[in-house]
Amino acid sequence: MSISDNLLAVRRSLPTGVRLVAVSKFHPVGELMEAYDAGQRIFGESHVQELQGKVAAMPADVEWHFIGHLQTNKVKYLAPYVSMIHAVDSMKLLREIDRQAVKNDRIIDVLLELHIAEEETKYGFSPDDCRRLLAEGEWRELRHVRICGLMMMATYTDDTAQIRNEMEQAQSLFHELKSAYFADDDAFCECSWGMSHDYQIAVETGATLVRIGTTIFGERVY
Ligand SMILES: *Cc1c(COP(=O)(O)O)cnc(C)c1O
């Protein structure tokens, strides 16, 4: 199947209200253009340098979502154009995004990355660290970042019960934080979970953004 066939098949399988982030990291611009020509506008990338090249080569109406781990010293490169930063995992990073957003006279949408999966190597806040960050309240002073919700990656496993359990934990934390801090804030509405192998479960556990690469573009060649 072609990229456009894959894309349309994924789209058809998503209920309304769930947006697709086409994860195009490691794929060349020609392949992104195939998806673009089939109507895709939201693309996800996880390496700053690679993204910079693609931004220059792709049409201006693409919404770029940065989904990878972001170092504070790289925020300045993304700040002029990025539509959403999915994986904010420290107060320091949040402050730097705000600072660069001020410089660019814009407000940058972000998600807080949760760490629920078993893998040690994954970045992100534990549920308690996430609660603590919001309770401390400094984020309220950062007028140029808008916290739009939560992002997480479930454990990479065939055990669908475990994946579901982790996504349900994320969903329940989302609702808890929504009512505690964002009840009057319509912008806090995004749950970013689900990748190629687990997005069906994500859709059933409240995802509003699914990040799908391999199913659309095929295997990545590193
Ligand atoms: C690469 C990546 C994806 C997409 O993974 P696929 O298995 O190719 O769908 C989703 N989310 C993040 C954070 C990624 O780095």
Give the residue, out of 20, 27, 31, 46, with the most ligand 1 atoms within 8 A of its beta carbon, to mutate for a pocket test.
Answer: 46
* Under 8 Å between Cβ of 111 and 125: no
pLDDT band at 178 (very low <50, low <70, confident <90, very high): very high
pLDDT for res 197: 97
Query: In Å, what is the CA distance from 91 to each residue of 19, 96, 127, 169?
Result: 27, 9, 15, 22
CA atoms of 51 and 44, how far apart (whole Å): 9
Q: Which ligand 1 atom is nearest residue 211's CA? A: 10
Count Cβ atoms within 10 A of the Cβ of residue 56 and give its class: 0-12 exposed, 13-18 middle, 19 or more buried: exposed
CA neighbor of 20 nearest in space, from 9, 34, 30, 28? 9
Average pLDDT over residues 40-67: 98
| Ligand 1: lining residues by beta carbon, under 6 Å | 23, 25, 46, 67-68, 153, 195-196, 211-214
User: Tokens 């579901």 appear where?
Assistant: 164
- What lies within 8 Å, CB to CB, of 104 at 6+ separation is 79, 80
Entry pTM: 0.97
Region 196-211: what's the mean pLDDT?
A: 98
